[in-house]
Amino acid sequence: MSTFDSIHRLWASFTDLAMSRHCPSCGRRMALDEEPLCAQCMLRLPWENNYDWIYNPRMVAAADHPCLQRVGALMRYNHGNVAAKVVQSLKFNRTVTLASWMGRLAVSRLQSTSLFDGIEALVPTPLSSRRQRLRGFNQALILAQAMGEELRVPVCTDIVRKIKEVEPQTHLTTSQRLENLKGAYALTSHADSLRDKHIMLIDDVITTGSTFTSVISELEKVQGLRVSVFAWAWVT
Ligand SMILES: [Zn+2]
């Protein structure tokens, strides 16, 4: 095969690869300079522009947890919007590239706000070991890892575990969710290493806030621990 043929074949496979890239939000084929979403979806990202982390409704709802410092999100999640599609794609396609973009985007957009001030470690919301085995990965963990690299803070995965499988929560009210999650999380023997620290619990989505409230009910047993919460998107 001539050098020209080799270059031609290489170029053809390169363009094939490029052409097979689809936008994880709308499914449209993306051009080479579009990454990780197509240009149209990038323009339709539903940014959360309210940076008043302390007085948002989720903070107020969780007011009986004095260790809770701030709760924030990057995007507004509504059924079928671009944020929802990105989160679904992360969960089901296991795209580490997408998670890494999501993490970098969150840090670059929110670093000038007070959300990450004083955070000493990131803690991904745990999945039960059965769920993690079935899914193959924890999307909160890969998001936390991407954010940890940008923020230069460690990611702690051995602090709290999900020890109980719970019923699907989609159709439950907030109080039913809290009841459903009772006893679902437990601290590990390493949790005490976080004494007097300020950590950030990381998740992909906050729906009602019952998951983070349940995890915090465990974390607040660690003396002097302060907890902030970040989700890439929250339901508005
Ligand atoms: Zn798109």
Distance (Å) from CA 2 to ligand 1 centroid: 39
Mean pLDDT of the chain: 86
DSSP codes of every residue in 95-141? -HHHHHHHHHHHHHHHTTSSTTTT--EEEEPPPBHHHHHHHSS-HHH
Question: CB–CB of 198/69 below 8 Å?
Answer: yes
Classify strands 226-235 and 198-206 as parallel, antiparallel or unpaired.
Answer: parallel
CA atoms of 199 and 201, how far apart (whole Å): 7
DSSP codes of every residue in 144-191? HHHHHHHHT--B--SSEEE-S-----TT--HHHHHHHTTT-EEE-TTG
Residues 157 and 205 placed together within one structural domain of the fold: yes
* Residues of the domain holding 40: 1-44
Distance (Å) from CA 28 to ligand 1 centroid: 6
CA atoms of 191 and 184, how far apart (whole Å): 16
Distance (Å) from CA 43 to ligand 1 centroid: 9
Distance (Å) from CA 157 to ligand 1 centroid: 33
Length of the chain (residues): 236
Residues 2 and 56 placed together within one structural domain of the fold: no
More confident residue, 167 or 85: 85
Residues 61 and 30 placed together within one structural domain of the fold: no
Question: Lowest-pLDDT range, 75-79, 113-117, 124-128, 221-225?
Answer: 124-128
Residues 186 and 99 placed together within one structural domain of the fold: yes
- Mean pLDDT computed over 160-178: 78
Residues 16 and 115 placed together within one structural domain of the fold: no
Distance (Å) from CA 88 to ligand 1 centroid: 14
Residues 30 and 128 placed together within one structural domain of the fold: no
Distance (Å) from CA 211 to ligand 1 centroid: 30
Contacts of 158 (CB under 8 A, 6+ apart): 188, 190
Distance (Å) from CA 32 to ligand 1 centroid: 13
Distance (Å) from CA 152 to ligand 1 centroid: 31
Residues 37 and 54 placed together within one structural domain of the fold: no
Residues 158 and 224 placed together within one structural domain of the fold: yes
CATH, residue 99: 3.40.50
pTM for the whole thing?
0.85
What confidence tier does 3 reach under pLDDT thresholds 50, 70, 90? low
Question: CB–CB of 162/128 below 8 Å?
Answer: yes
Contacts of 103 (CB under 8 A, 6+ apart): 143, 144, 145, 146, 147, 149, 150
What confidence tier does 10 reach under pLDDT thresholds 50, 70, 90? low
Alpha-carbon distance values, 29 to 35, 37, 58, 87 (Å): 11, 10, 38, 19
Question: Lowest-pLDDT range, 26-35, 76-85, 126-135?
Answer: 126-135
Residues 117 and 212 placed together within one structural domain of the fold: yes
Residues 78 and 154 placed together within one structural domain of the fold: yes
Residues 17 and 104 placed together within one structural domain of the fold: no
Residues 19 and 134 placed together within one structural domain of the fold: no
Number of domains comprising the chain: 2
Question: CB–CB of 126/163 below 8 Å?
Answer: no
Q: Provide the token pair at 98.
A: 């997408």
